[in-house]
């Protein structure tokens, strides 16, 4: 019997496994993918707090080629008010970093392998079951159905297993995110932008010499943006975003995905925990989803020991421990989407007042930046 079975070796599951290194626990990690991490071209936004987590588990290094975010410019289209937040104001070297998913996954996979965990790649978990004494995870590997037993199962993969283990609440934003890398005619200076509009926010994150773009819009427009030629795409982006980042000159790697808020109810079986996308999927505004998942993984490692594994009520107590951070992250991102995409009369003026207040009140700004970097 294993002490812990982790389903999913993405950033959250791998962080949990690496953070448990040296505890003398028997870890089994089941990962559905076999492909090389280098094939994934996504970019990720990590907070300063997430960098500290990755440093503590030995997964942060120069090979990540992380681009620091020194400042963030927040504004709204068609209304007054803006806020600029800087790393200097927050008292940290950087508010966050933008890195490639492939680089982070490779660094974390190396740490998982170094910590002595048993990893099975190409293992598709199908069912989790159990009682107050143990859990059983059925998975398919190399055409065979197998079963692993353990004292705690952590589902860190937002696939079918998570859906079968718990009920989920879902709110469809009826929006899609168009992601790409764009270049402009001026250096980004390590400044990120969040530009709100009635159609949805547009984020530009410094990534190497380019910007990582996250453009939230209606699903129909998202499909249109994927199909138009490069110049038409850039012209539409320029019109929607404005000129504060310069003139858009090139775009690469366009893709789109639908946006919804999903959060899981407590699992139906004891000794089962959900982390990361298995527990909640947030709107990308403010880039809180992955950072929340990394905090969950690190706090799990801080809380877990043999005595905790002997206790059938550990999973429930850990959910209570993380409830405040989880709920506040869900409410905050959901509120930002609803408030900044509403066209109710008078609301643009109130939003402008809010941005102006945030920018002009240092204690409020510092508290907001701390919340973005470290959670609650």
In a 3-state reduction of DSSP, which class is residue 35?
A: coil
Cα–Cα distance measured from residue 120 to residue 32, given in angstroms and rounded to the nearest whole number: 8
pLDDT higher than threshold 90 for residue 79: no
Q: Provide the pLDDT for residue 115.
A: 84
Edge-first strand listing for the sheet containing 67-69: 43-47, 96-100, 67-69
- What are 260's two structure tokens? 């919804």
Nearest CA to 65 out of 114, 23, 102 is that of 102
Q: Provide the pLDDT for residue 158.
A: 78
Phi, then psi, of 10 in degrees rounded to 5: -70, -170
- Render pLDDT for 160-183 as a digit per residue (tens, 0 to 9): 888 889 999 999 999 999 999 999
Q: Can you tell me the mean pLDDT for 196-209? A: 95
Confidence of residue 319 (pLDDT cuts 50, 70, 90): very high
- Render pLDDT for 261-292 as a digit per residue (tens, 0 to 9): 999 999 988 999 999 999 999 999 989 999 99
pTM metric for this prediction: 0.94
Confidence of residue 322 (pLDDT cuts 50, 70, 90): very high
Q: Can you tell me the mean pLDDT for 235-262? A: 96
- Render pLDDT for 51-66 as a digit per residue (tens, 0 to 9): 999 999 999 998 899 9
Q: Provide the pLDDT for residue 159.
A: 80
Q: Can you tell me the mean pLDDT for 341-346? A: 84
> Do residues 256 and 177 make contact, with C-beta atoms less than 8 angstroms apart?
yes
pLDDT higher than threshold 60 for residue 120: yes
> Do residues 173 and 26 make contact, with C-beta atoms less than 8 angstroms apart?
no
Could you give the percent of the chain with pLDDT greater than 90?
A: 85
Strands (E), the chain: 4-7, 27-31, 43-47, 67-69, 71-76, 82-86, 96-100, 118-121, 124-130, 135-141, 144-150, 153-155, 168-184, 191-196, 202-207, 210-217, 248-264, 272-274, 280-281
In a 3-state reduction of DSSP, which class is residue 255?
A: strand
pLDDT higher than threshold 90 for residue 156: yes
pLDDT higher than threshold 80 for residue 35: no
> Do residues 365 and 89 make contact, with C-beta atoms less than 8 angstroms apart?
yes
pLDDT higher than threshold 60 for residue 38: no
- Render pLDDT for 94-108 as a digit per residue (tens, 0 to 9): 999 999 999 999 999
Count of Cβ atoms closer than 10 Å to residue 268 Cβ:
12
Q: Provide the pLDDT for residue 31.
A: 94
> Do residues 340 and 195 make contact, with C-beta atoms less than 8 angstroms apart?
no
> Do residues 145 and 161 make contact, with C-beta atoms less than 8 angstroms apart?
no
Running DSSP on this structure, what letter comes out for residue 66? P
Confidence of residue 37 (pLDDT cuts 50, 70, 90): low
Confidence of residue 191 (pLDDT cuts 50, 70, 90): very high
Q: What is the dihedral of CA 222, 223, 226, 229, to 10 degrees?
A: -100
Cα–Cα distance measured from residue 365 to residue 109, given in angstroms and rounded to the nearest whole number: 36
Q: Can you tell me the mean pLDDT for 112-133? A: 91
Confidence of residue 36 (pLDDT cuts 50, 70, 90): low
Q: Domains, the chain, ranges and CATH?
A: 4-41+100-169+261-337 (3.50.50.60), 67-98+174-259+341-374 (3.30.9.10)
Biggest CA-to-CA distance, the chain: 62
* Mean pLDDT score across all residues of the chain: 94
């Amino acid at each position: 019997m294993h002490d812990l079975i982790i389903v999913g070796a993405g950033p959250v599951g791998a962080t949990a496994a690496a953070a448990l290194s040296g505890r003398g626990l028997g870890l089994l990690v089941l990962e559905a993918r076999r492909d090389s991490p280098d094939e994934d071209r996504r970019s990720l936004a990590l907070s300063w707090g997430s960098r500290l987590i990755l440093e503590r588990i030995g997964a942060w290094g120069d090979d990540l080629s992380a681009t620091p975010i020194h400042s963030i410019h927040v504004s709204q289209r068609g209304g007054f008010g803006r806020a600029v937040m800087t790393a200097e104001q927050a008292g940290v070297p950087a508010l966050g970093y933008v890195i490639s998913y492939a680089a982070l996954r490779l660094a974390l996979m190396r740490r998982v392998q170094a910590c002595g965990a048993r990893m099975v790649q190409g293992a598709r978990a199908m069912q989790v079951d159990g009682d107050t004494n143990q859990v059983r995870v059925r998975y398919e590997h190399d055409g065979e159905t197998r079963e692993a037993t353990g004292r705690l199962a952590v589902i860190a993969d937002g696939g079918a297993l998570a859906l079968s283990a718990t009920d989920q609440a879902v709110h469809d934003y009826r929006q899609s995110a168009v992601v790409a890398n764009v270049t402009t005619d001026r250096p980004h200076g390590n400044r990120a932008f969040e530009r709100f509009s009635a159609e949805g926010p547009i984020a530009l994150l410094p990534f190497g010499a380019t910007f990582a773009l996250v453009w939230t819009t209606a699903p129909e427009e998202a499909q249109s943006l994927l199909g138009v030629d490069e110049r038409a795409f850039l012209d539409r982006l320029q019109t929607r975003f404005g000129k504060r980042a310069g003139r858009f000159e090139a775009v690469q790697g366009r893709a789109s995905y639908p946006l919804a808020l999903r959060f899981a109810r407590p699992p139906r079986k004891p000794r089962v925990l959900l982390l990361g996308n298995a527990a909640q999927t947030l709107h990308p505004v403010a880039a809180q989803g992955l950072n929340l998942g990394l905090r969950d993984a690190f706090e799990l490692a801080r809380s877990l020991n043999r005595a905790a594994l002997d206790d059938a009520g550990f999973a429930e107590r850990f959910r209570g421990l993380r409830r405040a951070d989880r709920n506040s992250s869900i409410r905050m991102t959901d509120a930002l989407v609803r408030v900044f995409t509403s066209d109710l009369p008078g609301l643009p003026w109130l939003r402008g007042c809010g941005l102006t207040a945030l920018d002009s009140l240092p204690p409020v700004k510092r508290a907001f930046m701390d919340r973005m970097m470290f959670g609650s």
